[in-house]
């Protein structure tokens, strides 16, 4: 009886595994904000749209996890509407969306990262914030957060208005460090 049970279990497991696909990859969408004629924040010839696209491409290139596919909402300096971005996101049904942006303030001393999120994504935001050290988390009613059916966060990478942040964000070392922090978070979740 015991041998019959083991044989039946192995047969059942074999049948079950034959119907299971192992090619299912977890999709993560990285949304480099702005693009085309929408420059985002610009200061001294440094454009938000260029920095966030560069960082998004670096995140994708750093991905070595065969079980994760990173999709960018734009791969070039192309104009895309917010509706077009959320439509793509909702079509892909990703596990997570991270929209990259750079902040601005009238106070040039203001610095740091902020993650805007919706209540159901707060735990993801908390984990992402831990990779960035001193990072604020705020709930926001932004188009991408509101209209995405997937867990979504908008990550403000720093302040274009702050010279230290701007220099860091525009440097190779800064872009590399940010990309590594984001891919580390993605691989943890």
Cα(100)–Cα(72) distance, integer angstroms:
11
b/e map 94-130, b = 16+ CB within 10 Å:
bbbbbbbbbbbeeeeeebbbbbbbbeebeebbeebbe
Residue 15 falls inside a structural domain: no
- Whether pLDDT at 176 is above 70: yes
**Residues sharing a CB contact under 8 Å with residue 85, sequence separation 6 or more, in sequence order:** 31, 73, 144
pLDDT for res 53: 98
Sign of the Cα pseudo-torsion (152, 174, 45, 112, in order): positive
Residue 3 falls inside a structural domain: no
Cα(92)–Cα(68) distance, integer angstroms:
13
Q: What are phi and psi of 113, to 5 degrees?
A: -105, 150
Task: Determine contact, residues 141/134, Cβ cutoff 8 Å.
Answer: no
Strands 46-47 and 42-43 turn out to be antiparallel
Question: What digits encode the pLDDT tens for the residues 38-61?
Answer: 999 999 999 999 999 999 999 999
For the whole prediction, is pTM greater than 0.75?
yes
- Whether pLDDT at 5 is above 80: no
pLDDT band for position 24 (50/70/90)? confident
Residue 73 falls inside a structural domain: yes
Per-residue pLDDT, averaged over 62-87, amounts to 95
- Whether pLDDT at 7 is above 80: no
- Whether pLDDT at 140 is above 70: yes
- Whether pLDDT at 95 is above 50: yes
pLDDT for res 134: 79
The CATH number of whichever domain residue 45 belongs to comes to 3.40.630.40
Q: What are phi and psi of 103, to 5 degrees?
A: -85, 175
Cα(187)–Cα(137) distance, integer angstroms:
21
Range of 142's domain? Answer: 26-187
Per-residue pLDDT, averaged over 137-147, amounts to 96
E strand segments, 56-134: 68-72, 96-103, 113-117
pLDDT band for position 20 (50/70/90)? very low
Residue 68 falls inside a structural domain: yes
- Whether pLDDT at 4 is above 70: no
b/e map 61-84, b = 16+ CB within 10 Å:
ebeeeeebbbbbbbeeeeebeeee
Residue 7 falls inside a structural domain: no
Q: Which one has a higher pLDDT value, 122 or 189? A: 122
Nearest to 137 by CA among 159, 162, 155: 155
Nearest to 48 by CA among 138, 132, 166: 166
Give the chain's domain count: 1
């Amino acid at each position: 009886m015991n041998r019959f049970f083991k044989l039946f279990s192995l047969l059942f497991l074999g049948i079950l595994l034959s119907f299971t696909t192992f090619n299912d990859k977890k999709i993560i969408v990285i949304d480099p904000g702005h693009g085309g004629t929408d420059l985002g924040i610009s200061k001294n010839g440094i454009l938000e749209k260029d920095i966030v696209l560069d960082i998004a491409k670096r995140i994708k290139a750093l991905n070595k996890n065969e079980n994760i596919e990173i999709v960018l909402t734009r791969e070039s300096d192309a104009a895309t509407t917010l509706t077009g971005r959320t439509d793509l996101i909702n079509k892909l049904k990703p596990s997570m969306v991270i929209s990259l942006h750079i902040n601005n303030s009238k106070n040039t001393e203001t610095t740091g990262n902020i993650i805007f999120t919706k209540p159901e994504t707060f735990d993801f935001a908390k984990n992402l914030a831990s990779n960035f050290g001193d990072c604020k988390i705020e709930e926001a009613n932004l188009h991408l957060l509101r209209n995405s059916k997937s867990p979504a966060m908008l990550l403000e990478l720093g302040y274009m208005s702050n010279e230290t942040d701007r220099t860091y964000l525009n440097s190779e070392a800064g872009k590399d460090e940010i990309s590594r922090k984001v891919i580390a978070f993605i691989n943890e979740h």
